[in-house]
Structure 1
């Protein structure tokens, strides 16, 4: 009996941990939903519209884009695709007449690049696999392609749902659930006068896990303020220095293999910032070794307002961040008065708690965060009205509780390192305090 209870406890813990990994408290309902709509039957299968909806508020899919994979339930083949293509054709030797587009039992499909011929396009396709976050660009948060499937069933009862869906790509950490039959999708004509309905519909839900996407954090946060000269840097090795072998450079500067010193000639060499298909990074050598650093500076204090400056710096020579997003959780974001040179949108993950907001760039101005170098940063300032009931500069209140960049949570400094007010006593170690007390006692006895 005790053994069975232990096994039950192990199962419960495993399920709880797996759910927690994929749960984002600032976007609790965010996911990517795949929808298959069978539009018509063919002599040996069907034609379906496959739609990918990104319902995440601030997490997008960046270049080089998504790769969608699955396993066929039977011996299906893909006769043709519009708006996408399979990465491999597979063994189609048994076909003597028309050759299918893909005969693999486990096909992998990718989006087409912009500018393909019109007859290969379909609505919401051909963006190079880039899918915007729903909270930033709802129109760009959809991707779609049309697929003609053969050697499949030709009725709702004989069609078998594909299995083992995967949503892959550099930096993508998605886990997809099983396909589930749902009520058929209803379509309206362009003039909204005629209604049609899919012959059969099933959906697949994919959730994101930062731990699956990257072994280490992908960004870090540093702090400073006008009332204290201390600058709190990103934690040392915040993004995994252990992955690199430390070496000694010229002038006694230590750095890691695979990174470039910011003042080196190599950093100015043409072609350094050439992207790699596998998404491999080429970072500027820093103590934190993070691709992205977010700096929050408490800048000014007015009678009724206070002002903070936000700067995002890119240390990756091989990555431009298009349509980047920055999410902050701070108790005074419910009183944002003005945001300069960034777009701002409040996020309400729990309805009535307004302490989270998303910052992103202005189109064609700073929505592109360039690779490491002189243009590899964006910055803005935010003005917030003081709340008499909660506002204070003490105890690190003026600094955010959490920061996310492009949907990944950044490594924060430890709370006891935040800049403190000048009129508050600096924090001494207990040993130092005891030593000081002992000295006072000795002086008192000698007096």
Structure 2
């Protein structure tokens, strides 16, 4: 006895597969923004290295270095702040390349007054233009640290401190506890300090190597879920083959609610706009956004622009709706299966990321220096744009079923909210939309059966 497949059974099977695919895509859309593990940068972290360079009569002199090993997440203005809790009654006598935000109560000291006597000091970077006798290498950048891919030479910061009332040997020194890193807001969780092999240093002539007397490391990891309650960016889509412009999802980053949150957004046509913006403070970590349906500080628009014989072209536009922030050294990470054939980016720098070894479907982009590396606050100049030229691969290229649109987009390391797949612009023949309609029909037919099965 043989088996046969009728057209209706094939339709049922195909539609069921499409329904499962749609459910999977929707689940990815809802849960991607809250994940702490970053699939595109699984090993990214910020490592704080504490090197004791010399002993003093009552403590030691140490160099503290902050290394940003994240591929695309950087620390922007107003910069980082590093805190910890002393294990004993340590004080900071002096500092180079950084300063504590508070001195604390130093009344027990007669004569020389320490730089900081707080049990829980907080250190910030010095500003550019600091006198040379107060600087060390990798300091004094206002707390800004570049991402590792974008600018590896500026992906570290450092300061030096002289610690008193501490141990004077490897056996008597006690490691600080409860490290905290704000960059500049929350989001980073730091582990305990761990003693490691002493750091080795090579002289400029490379003929001599020295080493620290003692070294410990602290590793801090980022979670977008901890950084903010709502997403910070969203994505809109359009194409040349469909007149539909798919906007960012409504309330993607919050909703307008003047009843409970008066002044939560700014009307761009308000006659008092200038006074509101000037009084809010530039580079404030709390966004002051333009009133929109999505309420996101940043929107990324992906437009499928032209279809050539051997190439296809996309226009990418980043718009800033935040009146409180100029995004310096911004970056964009896009995942799309055709990035292995990216031929040219006309106004952005780019570099390929390979989070999955041989699969090259992710690229990082950032602005050209002195041209568009600064994304201005909301207003006429609050956007940057570029066009991307892709070579077609005949075995994979298609405009059907939303293939031409990105899978993920990150802005400054944060995952942006994507529109639901069933809203994507589709070809005039309606191939993608028809598949979704069939899938919806199958789900509606199967749901009563599933509920009935569960009762028994």
**TM-score in same-fold range (> 0.5):** yes
2:259 & 2:333 partners in 1: Cα distance? 33
Give the deviation of 1:169 after TM superposition.
Answer: 4.4
Aligned partner of 1:182 in structure 2 is 196
When residues 397 and 140 of structure 1 are mapped into structure 2, their CA distance, relative to the original with a 3 A threshold, is: same
Note the residue ranges of structure 2 that are not aligned, 5 or more in a row. Answer: 1-30, 443-456
Q: TM-score under structure 1 normalisation?
A: 0.87
What is the total number of aligned residue pairs between the two structures? 408
- 2:141 matches 1:135: no
Note the residue ranges of structure 1 that are not aligned, 5 or more in a row. Answer: 1-16, 248-254, 435-447
1:72-119 deviation per Cα after TM superposition (whole angstroms, max 9, x unaligned): 111111011100001111111111121110111110000011111111
Give the CA RMSD over aligned residues.
2.2
1:99 & 1:21 partners in 2: Cα distance? 46
- 2:220 matches 1:220: no
Is the 8 Å Cα contact of residues 45 and 69 (structure 2) preserved in structure 1?
Answer: yes
When residues 211 and 270 of structure 1 are mapped into structure 2, their CA distance, relative to the original with a 3 A threshold, is: closer
Q: TM-score under structure 2 normalisation?
A: 0.86
Aligned partner of 1:5 in structure 2 is none
2:306 & 2:372 partners in 1: Cα distance? 24
1:137-176 pair list within 5 angstroms: 137-176=151-190
Point out 4+ residue stretches in structure 1 off by more than 6 angstroms. Answer: none
Aligned partner of 2:135 in structure 1 is 121
Give the deviation of 1:171 after TM superposition.
Answer: 3.4
1:104-159 deviation per Cα after TM superposition (whole angstroms, max 9, x unaligned): 11100000111111111111001111111111001111100001001111111111
Moved more, 78-87 or 421-430: 421-430
Moved more, 256-265 or 154-163: 256-265
1:287-341 deviation per Cα after TM superposition (whole angstroms, max 9, x unaligned): 0000000000000001111000000000011100000000000000110001101
When residues 412 and 433 of structure 1 are mapped into structure 2, their CA distance, relative to the original with a 3 A threshold, is: closer
1:357-399 deviation per Cα after TM superposition (whole angstroms, max 9, x unaligned): 0010000000000000000000000001111111110100000
Give the deviation of 1:63 after TM superposition.
Answer: 0.7
1:295 & 1:149 partners in 2: Cα distance? 51
Aligned partner of 2:26 in structure 1 is none
Give the deviation of 1:279 after TM superposition.
Answer: 2.1
1:198 & 1:77 partners in 2: Cα distance? 21
Q: Which of structures 1 and 2 has the larger relative contact order (alpha carbons within 8 angstroms, sep 6+)?
A: 2
1:73-84 pair list within 5 angstroms: 73-84=87-98
1:232-243 pair list within 5 angstroms: 232-241=246-255
1:10-36 deviation per Cα after TM superposition (whole angstroms, max 9, x unaligned): xxxxxxx9xx94311001111000000
Q: Secondary structure at the residue paired with 1:272?
A: helix
- 2:328 matches 1:322: yes
Is the 8 Å Cα contact of residues 36 and 222 (structure 2) preserved in structure 1?
Answer: yes
